[in-house]
Structure 1
Amino acid sequence: MSKTISPTFTFVKDGVFYFSRRIPKELRRHYTSPRIAYSLRTRSAKVADARARKAADQLDEYWFHLRSKEAQFPGKHMLRLSPSADGGTSLSQPVSVSSFVMLSEALTLYLDQKGQGRPATFQRAAERACAYVIDACGDKHLDVYTKADANAFRDTLIARGLAGSSLTRVFGTVRAVTNFAASEQGLTLNNPFAGIYYDRDAGVSDRNAVPIDALRLIQRRCREVDDELRWLIVLVSDTGLRLAEAAGLSRDDFVTQSDGSVVVRVQQHPWRRLKTKGSGRDVPLEGAALWAAQRILAAPTSSKLAFPRYNKTDTTNANAASAALNKWMKEYVPEGCTMHSFRHAMRDRLRAVECPADIVDQIGGWQTEGVGHGYGSGYPMDVLRKWMKAVAWTDMVYGS
């Protein structure tokens, strides 16, 4: 079988085509890397070829302008002294060239500077958002984009079927990339991607909380089946942990306190990062969650991980967990409820026992607004446990 030849200026990684072009030596001082490389977001050689050629042509044009700014332009010695505003004379000036980088270069700068130590999703989100802009409006100098371009970009996203919440994330990423690049260059940018109107609620489905009767039924069924998947469901259902947080737990993250009580420690691991800095926390285990922790720790295994089936690679596979668990839960919950709905339910359950909002935030790892909440180290464990006990008692899941 003959080997498939990639289109010019591309290479293939995991079946996806990437654009790659080396920067000319005389222009490298303008860049933070000797090569421009980014995903073309396609598995089609034909589409990749078209996008790569377009990107190469744009780079050739921009590099011509860079070289022109530094070269002695033709006929400089023949320029006429023209009248100036004050009645004197001045040398005629050549047409000015944009001082801003192109969007593709801004993306490279943004990822090089702000992408260090960030998860792969951070890079993919930035690449995806900028690829959307380039597909809709072309790769231009940042100050060349207009409000009409931004509106066309919005219309393209809507045509792709993106919900209002997705549009908000994409526009936020594009603004972050363009504003950061302008700031790094010491230039002021009137960002056309700011203040664009669209319906932020369009296509956004309500995130329903799991009703208490459905939650009790699921927990009973999980105790009957009594396996690794059901332990994970129960642990999430009675703690409000994010699914990725729970799926990436180590067995050592279940910590027995001096009084014999147990907490689950949500902390960053090499195989699973935290969503936000404030997501690290200790959550008291009561009710069904305590039962799940006991079953996890009693399971005969040589793995240090609580859920090894979702940690077979270097990264916790929360997507696989979500697909499997949502499928199993489907017959027990109303339409629209998923594993994430347990997190909404936990907030409602804590509200029902009149738990203060900042304690709810600490238990769930939500950000609490206000400067003052950033001071100190939060509520002591016995206070958190009091409210988790109140929730477990209210729901009367298993009894003592």
Structure 2
Amino acid sequence: MENISGKYLFLKEGIFYFNRRVPKDLRPHYSSAKISYSLRTRSRAIALARANSASVKLDEYWYHLRSQDAELPGKHLLRHGLSRPASTNSKVVTPDVLTLSEGVLTYVRLKGHGRPKTFERAAHRSCGYVIDVCGDKPLSDYTKADANAFRDALVKRGLTGSSVTRIFGTVRAVFNFAAAEQGLDITSPFSNVYYDRNAGVSERLSIPVEDIRRVQGKCRELDDEMRWLVALIADTGMRIGEAAGLLREDIQKSENGNWSVQVAAHPWRSLKTDGSKRVVPLVGSAKWAAERIHAQQGNSRFAFPRYNVSDKTNANSASAGLNKWLKTLAPKGATMHGFRHAVRDRLRAVECPADIADQIGGWQTEGVGQGYGNGYPVEVLRNWMRKAMA
């Protein structure tokens, strides 16, 4: 068969992945130019079989899409070039009721201004899963049985409870917004769907201080770009993507010799939340990392050039490489994200007020009053960081 030679396979860290480009004439139906996902096996024979099966299914589906795209009288009057599937309910649906795919476009068009590309991508991907399982129907045609079938399909794929929660949250947001825009008085069937939210979710471990000290010592010993990134994160609790996408100019030294980092959104690296934008004082190993970064005479404007060779910061590469190295020094199960948990614990240990800790880590602070003013001065944050990281 066509894929028996492994045409659509590639190997990454011992795991086989399926990868196939979407034909140009079908690109309007997709939010990405290629389909790529893990086949969850290290066996080439099993990977070939799974990739071949996926390829055959895609060929059949693409034939179906091309058939729908055939010339049709009045086709220019359709909203998105595809006729809507017939309703499976007995009630009559008016032509003005949005389908889910149209709801996604409405949601992205009205709420996507100023949002990162991941916002649009998540909406298309999550609702695309629903369409794959239940079909692209008018919003009023979706039922609780559809929602349950969608849940079962996600669980069957082996997704963790947290991933299922995230996908359902996006689908609910799109559905409710589109229904409200249409003035539809309907309850989303994707609300109150039961599933095990803890399934497959592993506890994020906070790295003990003694292990942090060992890692920081090794960073100073090796003294290279990868270790500067570890050292920066270890005493700031920054997310790995936040740190890896920094510019050299984001890391600044004041007139009195104190270092700090400006965490802000960039075209190559967005921030997780609006509250993630902040200034973090650098002490301990983070200050050492800042000094080493600025001591280099390279031409790159990035603090970590190796993770910024394209138009997007490769945080996944940073995470994979550093987690692999960290395994040799930290307790079993520890990851780079464990430094973020540890910073929160270290701030608690010195009785740092919660709202100050939230500002340092870019965590969401509850309460209306927290949205007023500019927050604590950097020197107040620095005093608490010095106590916690000592």
TM-score above 0.5, yes or no: yes
Match of 1:152 among 138, 146, 149: 149
Deviations 1:341-398 (A, max 9, x none): 10000000000000000000000011101100000100111211110110122xxxxx
- Say if 2:61 is the partner of 1:51: yes
SS of equivalent to 1:165: helix
Q: CA deviation at 1:45?
A: 4.8
SS of equivalent to 2:192: coil
Tell me how far apart the structure 1 counterparts of residues 280 and 142 of structure 2 sit (CA, whole Å): 48
Look up the match of 1:275.
272
**% identical aligned pairs:** 55
Tell me how far apart the structure 2 counterparts of residues 317 and 96 of structure 1 sit (CA, whole Å): 46
Contact persistence 2:97–2:138 (CA under 8 A): yes
Contact persistence 1:40–1:51 (CA under 8 A): no
Match of 1:381 among 363, 378, 382: 378
Look up the match of 1:17.
22
Look up the match of 2:122.
125
Q: CA deviation at 1:38?
A: 4.2
TM-score (norm 1): 0.79
Match of 1:255 among 245, 252, 256: 252
Q: CA deviation at 1:120?
A: 2.9
SS of equivalent to 1:271: coil
The size of the alignment, in residue pairs, is 342
Change (3 A) 1:56 1:372: farther
- Say if 2:356 is the partner of 1:351: no
Tell me how far apart the structure 2 counterparts of residues 339 and 18 of structure 1 sit (CA, whole Å): 38
Tell me how far apart the structure 1 counterparts of residues 74 and 33 of structure 2 sit (CA, whole Å): 24
Contact persistence 2:346–2:389 (CA under 8 A): no
Q: CA deviation at 1:115?
A: 3.0
Look up the match of 1:215.
212
Deviations 1:212-236 (A, max 9, x none): 1111100001100001100000000
Change (3 A) 1:112 1:50: farther
SS of equivalent to 1:105: helix
Tell me how far apart the structure 1 counterparts of residues 55 and 102 of structure 2 sit (CA, whole Å): 24
Tell me how far apart the structure 1 counterparts of residues 93 and 377 of structure 2 sit (CA, whole Å): 62
Deviations 1:318-338 (A, max 9, x none): 111111111111111112211
Look up the match of 2:136.
139
SS of equivalent to 2:270: coil
Q: Name stretches of at least 5 consecutive residues in structure 2 with no aligned partner.
A: 1-18, 37-53, 79-90
Change (3 A) 1:318 1:63: farther
Change (3 A) 1:66 1:98: farther
Match of 1:239 among 236, 249, 271: 236
Tell me how far apart the structure 2 counterparts of residues 189 and 252 of structure 1 sit (CA, whole Å): 51
Change (3 A) 1:357 1:63: farther
TM-score (norm 2): 0.81
SS of equivalent to 2:298: coil
SS of equivalent to 1:132: helix
Q: CA RMSD in A?
A: 2.7
SS of equivalent to 1:303: coil
Tell me how far apart the structure 1 counterparts of residues 93 and 314 of structure 2 sit (CA, whole Å): 51
Change (3 A) 1:266 1:67: closer
- 227-236 or 258-267, which moves further after superposition? 258-267
Look up the match of 1:324.
321
Q: CA deviation at 1:151?
A: 0.6
SS of equivalent to 1:47: helix
Contact persistence 1:18–1:38 (CA under 8 A): no
Tell me how far apart the structure 2 counterparts of residues 107 and 339 of structure 1 sit (CA, whole Å): 35
Look up the match of 1:180.
177
SS of equivalent to 1:331: coil
Match of 1:365 among 362, 369, 378: 362
Deviations 1:119-148 (A, max 9, x none): 332233222211211221111111101001
Tell me how far apart the structure 1 counterparts of residues 108 and 31 of structure 2 sit (CA, whole Å): 11
Contact persistence 1:262–1:285 (CA under 8 A): yes
Tell me how far apart the structure 2 counterparts of residues 139 and 195 of structure 1 sit (CA, whole Å): 21
Tell me how far apart the structure 2 counterparts of residues 344 and 128 of structure 1 sit (CA, whole Å): 30
Look up the match of 1:113.
110
SS of equivalent to 1:332: coil
Tell me how far apart the structure 2 counterparts of residues 63 and 162 of structure 1 sit (CA, whole Å): 43
* Letter matched to residue 60 of structure 2: A
SS of equivalent to 1:284: strand
Contact persistence 2:20–2:34 (CA under 8 A): no
* Letter matched to residue 117 of structure 2: A
* Letter matched to residue 333 of structure 1: A
Tell me how far apart the structure 2 counterparts of residues 230 and 392 of structure 1 sit (CA, whole Å): 18
Match of 1:301 among 298, 302, 315: 298
Q: CA deviation at 1:279?
A: 0.9
Q: Rg larger in 1 or in 2? A: 1
